[in-house]
C-alpha cells in the first residue's frame, strides 16, 4: 500500500471518527445535521479510494448555529478565529471553523466547518437547508447514521466548491467524475435546485469548465456566466483582493481607515492563524508580523488592481452581478 | 482462542474503513489503532460483513483462489486469530 495513499486514507478515517462523534452529540441535543462533501464524494465518486479529506463539513439550520457551536465547545472545540478583530472576520461567512487539538484531552484532533449556508449561494440559509434536506439520504459513518446530501444536491455542491476554489486540485477531479457519472437528466434536477438557490450562472459556468459538462450545460440551456475571464474567478484572484475590495468599497473615510489599520496591524490572533503558530505569544510573534508586512508589500498592487477591475465590471454589468464567491 | 470450522466470524461493529485500491484501511476508534489489510485480507473482510462459518469462508476462498479448503484453512485460521486480536473481527465459538 503506497505510503501517501495510506496516509490519505488514515486522515479521512480520522475525520470520519470526529464526524460520527459530532453528529451523534448534535443529534442528542436535537439539532438536525447534514454531513457535506468528504465521505459522500469519496464513496460515490472514488469507490476504490484516493479521495482524501481533512475536515468535517456539517450543515445546520441558521437558527441552530449558536446551539451547535455550544455543543462543539462542550466537546473541546474552539472557534478557529477566536480573538480575531470583528473587521478581520467576514460578516457574511457561510461557515464557522472549529478546531480541537488532541492535547486538550477532549478527544482526537478535529476540524469542523459548521455551515448554515455555502460560499457563493445568495439565497437565504433556510432555502439551502430546505433544498438540501428535502431529499437527504443516510450514510453509515462507523455505527452512526449520518444524513448526507442527495446526489442532486451533491452535484451542485461539487460545482460550487470547484468554482469557489478556481477548479484547482481535487475540486477539478471531483467535478470531472461527477460529470462522468451523472446524466443530463440527473443534472436537470441539479439545475432546478440551482435556480431555487440563485446559482444557475455558477452551475452553467462550472459545467462548461469541462468539455463533457459544456454539452450538458447546453442541453439544459444553462446561462453563460458573463464574467468569462478566468482572472475574475476566486481561485485565480490575487491574495488580499477581498480585503482590497472591502477597503475600496467602504463608504466613509472612517471605515476606510479602520480597515486599512486592521490590514497594516492585524490582531495577534490573526497573525497566529496565518503563520500557523498557535502557541506563539508576545515578542515571539514579531517574525510572523515581519513576514505579514513583507507579503503585504508584495500583494498590495495586484490585489488593488484586481479589486478595481472587479468594481468596474460590477458597474458596467449591473444586470449580471459577480458570482459573489470571491475570497482572500 | 480456538477457531473451529463451525465457529462464526463477523466484523466488529463501529469500525471506520477506507478503501485503497484493492486494499483497505480500518480504524478501530475503541482501540485508537489503524489496521491495513492487503488485497487477500480485503476479500476476507468483504466476506465477513455478515456472520460466516469458518468452513464456509474456506469454501468461498477456495473457489476464489483455486486452492483446496485445507490449504486455505492453514492460512486463514492464523489470519482470523490476528483479526480477532486486533479487535476488528469477532470469532463466535461453535454452538
Using DSSP's 3-state secondary structure scheme, residue A244 falls into: helix
| Contact flag A13-B27 (C-beta cutoff 8 Å) | yes
Q: Tell me the C-alpha distance between A113 and A60, whole Å.
A: 11
Cα separation, A296 vs A292, whole angstroms: 6
Per-residue pLDDT, A231: 39
Is residue A112 within a helix (H) or strand (E), and if so which, with residue range?
strand A110-115
Put simply, the answer to whether A1 touches B17 (Cβ < 8 Å) is no
Q: Which three cell numbers stand for residue A114?
A: 459548521
Q: Mean of the pLDDT values across residues B64-75?
A: 93
- Residue pair A116/A95 in contact (Cβ under 8 Å)? The answer is yes
User: Cα separation of A174 and A42, whole Å?
Assistant: 9
DSSP string, B36-75: EE-HHHHHHHHHTTS-EEHHHHHHHHHHHHT--HHHHHHH
Identify the pLDDT of residue A233: 54
> CB A17 to CB B27 under 8 A?
yes
| A9 chain-B contacts, CB cut-off 8 A | 18-20, 25
Work out the percent of chain A whose per-residue pLDDT is above 70. Answer: 91
The CA distance from A198 to the nearest CA of chain B, in Å, is 35
CB contact under 8 A, B21 and A143: no
Are A271 and A292 in contact by the 8 Å Cβ rule? The answer is yes
CA distance B54 to chain A (A): 25
The pLDDT score that the predictor gives to residue B59 is: 95
> Minimal CA–CA distance to A141: which of A53, A268, A227, A204?
A53
B36: which chain A residues are within 8 Å (Cβ-Cβ)?
1, 6
CA distances from A242 to A103, A152, A153, A236, A252 (A): 34, 31, 28, 12, 18
Give the three-class secondary structure for A78. strand
Question: By three-state DSSP, how is residue B88 classified?
Answer: coil
Beta carbons of A61 and A55 less than 8 angstroms apart:
no
pLDDT band at A240 (very low <50, low <70, confident <90, very high): confident
> Phi/psi of residue B91, each to 5°?
-110, 125
**Mutation site, A7, A20, A49, A105, interface B, largest B CB count within 10 A:** A49
Instruction: Look at B13 and A143 and tell me if their CB atoms are within 8 Å.
Output: yes
Assign residue B33 a region (left: φ > 0; alpha: ψ between -120 and 50; beta: otherwise): beta
* Rounded distance between C-alpha atoms, residue A210 and residue A189, angstroms: 19
Neighbours of A190 (CB within 10 A): 25
| Residue B20 contacts A, CB cutoff 8 Å | yes
| Interface membership of B29 toward A (CB under 8 Å) | yes
A220-232 pLDDT tens trace: 999 887 654 443 4
ipTM, two decimals, is 0.85
pTM of the full structure? 0.84
Average pLDDT over residues A101-126: 93
Amino acid at each position: 500500500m503506497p505510503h501517501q495513499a495510506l496516509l490519505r486514507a488514515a486522515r479521512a478515517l480520522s475525520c470520519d471518527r470526529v464526524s460520527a462523534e459530532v453528529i451523534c452529540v448534535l443529534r442528542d441535543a436535537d439539532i438536525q445535521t447534514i454531513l457535506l462533501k468528504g465521505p459522500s464524494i469519496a464513496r460515490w465518486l472514488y469507490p476504490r479510494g484516493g479521495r482524501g479529506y481533512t475536515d468535517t463539513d456539517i450543515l445546520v439550520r441558521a437558527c441552530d448555529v449558536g446551539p451547535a457551536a455550544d455543543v462543539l465547545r462542550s466537546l473541546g472545540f474552539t472557534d478557529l478565529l477566536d480573538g480575531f478583530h470583528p473587521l478581520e472576520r467576514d460578516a457574511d461567512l457561510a461557515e464557522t471553523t472549529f478546531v480541537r487539538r488532541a492535547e486538550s484531552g477532549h478527544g482526537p484532533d478535529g476540524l469542523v466547518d459548521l455551515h448554515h449556508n455555502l460560499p457563493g449561494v445568495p439565497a437565504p440559509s433556510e432555502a439551502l437547508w430546505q433544498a438540501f434536506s428535502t431529499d437527504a439520504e443516510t450514510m453509515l459513518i462507523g455505527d452512526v447514521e449520518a444524513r448526507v446530501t442527495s446526489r442532486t444536491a451533491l452535484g451542485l455542491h461539487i460545482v460550487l466548491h470547484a468554482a469557489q476554489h478556481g477548479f484547482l486540485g481535487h475540486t477539478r477531479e471531483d467535478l470531472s467524475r461527477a460529470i462522468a457519472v451523472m446524466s443530463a437528466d440527473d443534472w436537470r434536477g441539479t439545475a432546478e435546485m440551482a435556480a431555487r438557490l440563485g446559482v444557475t450562472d455558477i452551475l452553467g459556468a462550472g459545467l462548461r469548465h469541462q468539455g463533457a459538462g459544456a454539452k450538458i450545460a447546453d442541453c439544459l440551456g444553462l446561462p453563460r456566466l458573463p464574467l468569462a475571464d478566468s482572472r475574475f474567478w476566486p481561485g485565480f484572484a490575487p491574495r488580499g483582493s477581498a480585503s482590497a475590495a472591502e477597503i475600496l468599497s467602504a463608504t466613509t473615510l472612517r471605515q476606510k481607515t479602520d480597515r486599512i489599520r486592521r490590514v497594516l496591524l492585524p490582531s495577534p490572533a490573526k497573525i497566529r492563524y496565518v503563520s500557523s503558530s498557535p502557541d506563539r505569544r508576545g515578542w515571539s510573534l514579531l517574525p510572523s508580523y515581519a513576514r505579514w508586512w513583507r507579503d503585504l508589500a508584495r500583494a498590495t498592487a495586484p490585489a488593488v488592481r484586481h479589486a478595481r477591475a472587479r468594481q468596474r465590471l460590477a458597474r458596467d454589468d449591473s444586470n449580471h452581478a459577480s458570482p459573489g464567491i470571491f475570497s482572500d | 482462542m480456538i477457531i473451529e470450522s463451525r465457529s462464526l466470524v463477523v466484523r466488529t461493529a463501529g469500525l471506520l474503513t477506507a478503501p485503497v485500491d484493492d486494499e483497505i484501511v480500518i480504524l478501530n476508534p475503541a482501540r485508537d489503532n489503524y489496521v491495513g489489510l492487503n488485497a487477500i485480507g480485503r476479500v476476507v473482510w468483504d466476506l465477513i460483513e455478515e456472520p460466516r462459518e469458518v468452513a464456509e469462508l474456506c469454501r468461498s476462498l477456495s473457489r476464489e483462489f483455486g486452492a483446496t479448503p485445507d490449504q486455505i484453512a492453514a492460512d486463514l485460521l492464523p489470519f482470523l486469530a490476528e483479526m480477532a486480536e486486533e479487535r476488528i473481527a469477532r470469532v463466535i465459538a461453535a454452538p
